Structure formats: structure tokens, C-alpha cells
Amino acid sequence: MPAIECVLLDIGGVFHLPDPTRIGAAAERAGHPIDPAAVPRAHYRACAAFDHPGDALAPPWDRWWPEYLKAFAGSLGIDDGDAIRAVLHELADEFVGAGLWEYEIPGAREGLRALADAGVRLGIVSNNDGSALDRLRAIELAQVGAGPGVAVECVIDSGAVGIEKPDPRIFELALISMQLRPEQCWYVGDMPGIDAVGAARAGIAPIIIDPHDDHAPDQRVGDVAFRTAVDLLSVAATL
């Protein structure tokens, strides 16, 4: 792998996943109980199914997001029409708030520290609600500058800047902030159709977290190629 200076990171699917307890409660309300332990696996399967490159500047979220939720529900074993409609209604309500994404992925904190110890510069680029920096700081995972968590140089939050992935301009904001060229960076995310596409269109090499080997061997979404990693520790090991 080429030497790089910076690793930019997503939050969802890299550090945090949907809270299995809340997802389980939503399915229960819809009359279709699930095993909450299956929720992390369901997220990554839905990410693999959600592979639409689309229009980076105007993503059709009204069509894309229901497809993710449908794949998510199907991965939880809810696959008949009436059941899916009931569960999707409850899941849609849960996914509206960023507070749902509070389940910390085991080993993610250690992986972030390993990246910092490897000597690369770090930044965050996330589709979020404007509170990403405050939430990362509150749980002592990361902050801009010195503090109890790992120091990152920027947190680019779509809710704060008004641009969201896969629009490449959100990645360009991180490059401008850190005064870096695209070829000096990797971007680590979890959704090929959002993260790999957006990063690649900004000239940044994408890496997709794939702990269950869900992606096809050719590892492409549309015309965008990406590589996969099991977790952040495995990304750090390649530096």
C-alpha cells in the first residue's frame, strides 16, 4: 500500500451501530420480535445491499433510505410484505435521531488509538445531525485537539456544514481544513454507495468496513472500486 499521511473516518458503522435494544423494541412494537444480537450483522448486510452510486450532488434519499431499511429488516428475518411494512414504520421513526447510533463497536476505540499511534493524521467526515463533535467528546472517544480521547484535526458533520455524503464537497472540506491533497488520504466508511462513491469522487481512496465478508470479490459499486477491512485495527495494521 502507498504511504499516506491521513485517515479520514466515518462514525456510523466504524465506531457506532444502531442500538440493538432500541431496534429490538421497535420490532416488538411492530409485532415481530427479533434477536437484538442480530442487529450489528443486519446493518452490515444492509450496507452491502445498499449499493447505489446515484447522483453525488443530489442523492435521492426518499428512495435510497427505505431500501436500506428494507434490507436491514430482511437481514433480521422479517421478509413478508405486511411484516416489513409494519417494522419499517417503527424503524423509520428510530433512525430519524442520531441518538440511535449509540452502540459502540467492540475494538473500535482501540483501533482509533492504533491509527493515532501509527503516526497518521486523523479527521472525521460524517453524515450526522450537527452534534457529532459534542457526542464524540462526551464519550471521550475523540475531540479536535488535546483531550481525554484521541485527537483529530477536524470533524466535518453534514448537519453543521449543509453538505452530505456522497457529495464529494464534504470530503473536500476536510482536505481544505487539513491542507491535504486527496492522494494523501484514505477514507474509512461502511456504505459503498455513500462512502466509497463520495470519497472516490473527491479523489480519496475508500476503505469499507466489512467484518462479515459481505461484499463481492470484485469490490466495486458502479464504476468505483474500493477495498475492505475487518475493522480499524486491521486498517492500522496496513500503515
Domain residue spans of the chain: 6-15+102-237, 18-100
18-100 fold: DNA polymerase; domain 1 (1.10.150)
Kindly state the percentage of the chain with pLDDT values over 70.
92
Residue 114's nearest CA partner among 239, 233, 15, 238 is: 233
How far apart (Å, rounded) are the C-alpha atoms in residues 130 and 104? 19
Say whether pLDDT at 1 is over 60: no
Q: Do the first three CATH levels of 6-15+102-237 and 18-100 match, i.e. the same topology?
A: no
Domain 6-15+102-237, CATH class in plain words: alpha beta
pLDDT at 79: 73
Say whether pLDDT at 2 is over 70: no
Dihedral (Cα; 192, 198, 203, 209), 10-degree rounding: -30
Say whether pLDDT at 144 is over 70: yes
The residues, ordered by sequence, that sit 6+ positions from 184 with a Cβ below 8 Å of its Cβ are 4, 5, 6
What is the bridge-based pairing of β-strands 185-189 and 205-209? Answer: parallel
Mean per-residue pLDDT, 107-124: 97
What's the predicted TM-score (pTM) here?
A: 0.93
Say whether pLDDT at 180 is over 80: yes
In this predicted model, which residue has the larger pLDDT, 78 or 182?
182
pLDDT digits (tens, 9 = 90+) for 3-61: 799 999 999 999 999 999 888 888 888 888 889 999 999 999 999 887 666 555 666 77
